Amino acid sequence: MGVQVNQSSEKLLEHLSWLARLKLTEREKEILVKDITRIIDFFNKLSEVNVENIEPTTHIIELVNVLREDIPRKPMETAEALANAPLKEGGFFKAPRIL
């Protein structure tokens, strides 16, 4: 495919993999390092466009601050909320230790 992969692409992938908290196998790294180079090239096509004085569109509908009345509603039962938890204890989700 003739994709220019270099140390900086590999470093970039390491960095992104950490930011995304996504561990990659060696085989996945081999595949993705080529992919990200090609996809970034594809994205670079946008550099041809003149976007001077153009506002970004984040949302198409012009709804702003959609709120409801601050009236409490019936919450989900604890048991229901915990039903899909891989690990739970005493009515809590059990998360891995932070430190």
Partner 1 sequence: MTLFSKPAYMLKNEIMAGNTSILDLVCSLYERIRKLEPTVNAFITLRSEEEVIREAEEKEKEIKKGKAKGLLYGVPIAIKDNISTKGIRTTCGSKILENYIPPYDASVVTFLKNEGAIILGKTNMDEFAMGSSTETSYFGPTRNPWDLERVPGGSSGGSAAALAAGLVPIALGSDTGGSVRCPAAFTATVGLKPTYGLVSRYGLIAYANSLEQIGPMARNVTDIALLLNVISKYDENDGTSIPGNRPDYVCSVMNPYDLKVPLKIGIVSEMFGEGVSEDVRKVVLRVLDKVSSEGVELDEISLPSLKYALPAYYIIAMSEASSNLARYDGVRYGFRANTDGDWNKIYMETRAEGFGLEAKRRIIMGTFTLSAGYFDQYYLRALKVRTLILNDFRRAFRRFHVLVSPTMPILPFKIGEKIKDPLAMYMCDIETVPANLAGIPAISIPAGFVNNLPVGLQLMSKPLSEDLLLKVGKIFEDKVGLKDLIAPL
Determine which residue in the list 4, 8, 23, 72 makes contact with partner 1, applying CB under 8 A.
Answer: 23
- Provide, rounded to whole angstroms, the least separation between the CB of residue 90 and partner 1: 15
Positive or negative, the Cα torsion across 55, 57, 62, 68?
Answer: negative
CA 51 to chain centroid: 26
Does residue 93 contact residue 82 with C-beta atoms inside 8 Å? yes
Token pair listed for 84: 């899909």
Cα gap 36→34, rounded to integer Å: 6
Provide the mask over 53-72, with x wherever binding to partner 1 is found by CB under 8 A and - wherever it is not. -xxxxxxxx-x--x-x----
The only residue of 4, 8, 26, 43 in contact with partner 1, by rule CB under 8 A: 43
In the complex, least distance from residue 15 CB atom to partner 1, rounded to whole angstroms: 8
Q: Footprint of partner 1 on this chain (CB under 8 A)?
A: 12-13, 16-17, 19-25, 28, 31-32, 35-36, 38-40, 42-43, 45-49, 51, 54-61, 63, 66, 68, 76, 80-81, 83-87, 93-99
